[in-house]
Amino acid sequence: MTLAILMLHALLGMLFILAAGFVYVDVLNVSEGNLPRIRCISRLTAVLMWAAFFIGGYWYVVHYGPEKGYILKGPWPFAHDFFMETKEHVVMGLLLLATFLPIAATNDLVGSKTARRLMLWIAALLVLTGVGMEGAGAIISMGAKVALLPH
Amino acid sequence: MSTSTLNAQTRGFGLSVAITSIVSALLVLAKEANPGLVTFMKDLTVHHWVTHAIFDVIVFVAVGFLLAKSNNGQGPAIGDEKLIQIIVGGFLLGCVIIAGFYLITG
């Protein structure tokens, strides 16, 4: 069950990245026809980020303690000291930026170049930071794995 | 800013993203420098990280609403390009402060 929670966290994070990437491409090709879809997927992006945050947060608060102990005693202590510490705090800014995406999507994206540029910046930051979060998660998992391998 | 094409909510909550990202990063530094603060935040909820997240959301919503209502309901009087720079710069600065701190001390 613990692993299922962790995998669901990673899956929701990946879906969040895909949704943000979808918004980026859709804004590049914005028209009256796809405007409702951009706003809908922007809301979905925020929902996916909140879901990933809550599930990951639950796992972190309830289940991460023992794993942290293994990692710190293993050959990759930086998996916690740098990657987890950075991930658990950067994700809060990412959550706010994802929440801001549907707010920015309420502007006149068809008529305003500035509104489109803002959306593109937000979506790009969400994708790039999201990929960084996924990568950090992989390193943290590997840090636990190498700690438990027989030496 | 009558020439702005961005609505008041975007301007207010956009600035709030930048402000909250930096405030959150500074709170990380304060927590690492002051174990008593970590204990205090842990006592407020089940975990200092939970308290930190709640604090960030409250600051984001409160600052966003206040800024969106400012300037007679038009939002902050900042040029659109400048606003985008502040949003992107504030978010990235928050990330760099956090990652830089743990890179040095981790």
* DSSP codes, A13-80: HHHHHHHHHHHHHHHHT--TTTHHHHHHHHHHHHHHHHHHHHHHHHHHHHHHHHHHHHHHHSS-THII
Chain B partners of A88 at a C-beta cutoff of 8 Å? Answer: 49
**Tens digit of pLDDT for each residue in A7-46?**
999 999 999 999 999 999 999 999 999 999 999 999 999 9
Chain B contact for A135 (CB, 8 A cutoff): no
**Rounded average pLDDT over B42-61:** 97
Chain A partners of B10 at a C-beta cutoff of 8 Å? Answer: 103-104, 106-107, 115, 118
Are A85 and B102 a contacting pair at CB < 8 A? Answer: yes
Domain that holds residue A131: 2-148
ipTM over 0.90: yes
Chain B contact for A65 (CB, 8 A cutoff): no
Calculate what percentage of chain A has a pLDDT beyond 90: 96
Chain B contact for A120 (CB, 8 A cutoff): no
pLDDT at A151 over 90: no
Phi first, then psi: what are they for A32, rounded to 5°? -60, -30
Are B95 and A122 a contacting pair at CB < 8 A? Answer: no
> What is the pLDDT at residue B4?
83
**Rounded average pLDDT over B36-54:** 96
Calculate what percentage of chain A has a pLDDT beyond 70: 99
**Rounded average pLDDT over A115-128:** 98
Going from N- to C-terminal start, the domains of chain B cover 8-105
**Rounded average pLDDT over A73-99:** 97
* Residue in A37, A58, A38, A23 with CA at minimum distance from that of residue A130: A23
Confidence band, pLDDT 50/70/90 cuts, at residue A1: confident
CA A33 to centroid of chain Cα atoms: 28
- Looking at per-residue pLDDT, the higher value among A100 and B1 belongs to A100
Confidence band, pLDDT 50/70/90 cuts, at residue B1: very low
Are B24 and A78 a contacting pair at CB < 8 A? Answer: no
> What is the pLDDT at residue B106?
74
Query: How many Cα atoms are found within 13 Å in the side-chain-facing hemisphere of A124?
Result: 11
> What is the pLDDT at residue B2?
52
> What is the pLDDT at residue B81?
95
Confidence band, pLDDT 50/70/90 cuts, at residue A57: very high
Chain A partners of B57 at a C-beta cutoff of 8 Å? Answer: 95-96
* Mean pLDDT score of chain A: 96
Are B98 and A89 a contacting pair at CB < 8 A? Answer: yes
* Mean pLDDT score of chain B: 95
Are A86 and B98 a contacting pair at CB < 8 A? Answer: yes
**Rounded average pLDDT over B89-98:** 98
pLDDT at A136 over 60: yes
Biggest CA–CA distance in chain A, Å, is 62
pLDDT at A121 over 50: yes
Of the candidates A78, A90, A111, which has its C-beta nearest B95's C-beta?
A90
**Rounded average pLDDT over A85-114:** 97
CA distance A1 to chain B (A): 22
**Rounded average pLDDT over A117-134:** 98
Domain count, chain A: 1
DSSP for B50-84 reads: HHHHHHHHHHHHHHHHHHHHHHHHT-----HHHHH
**Tens digit of pLDDT for each residue in B6-43?**
999 999 999 999 999 999 999 999 999 999 999 999 99
Are B6 and A111 a contacting pair at CB < 8 A? Answer: no
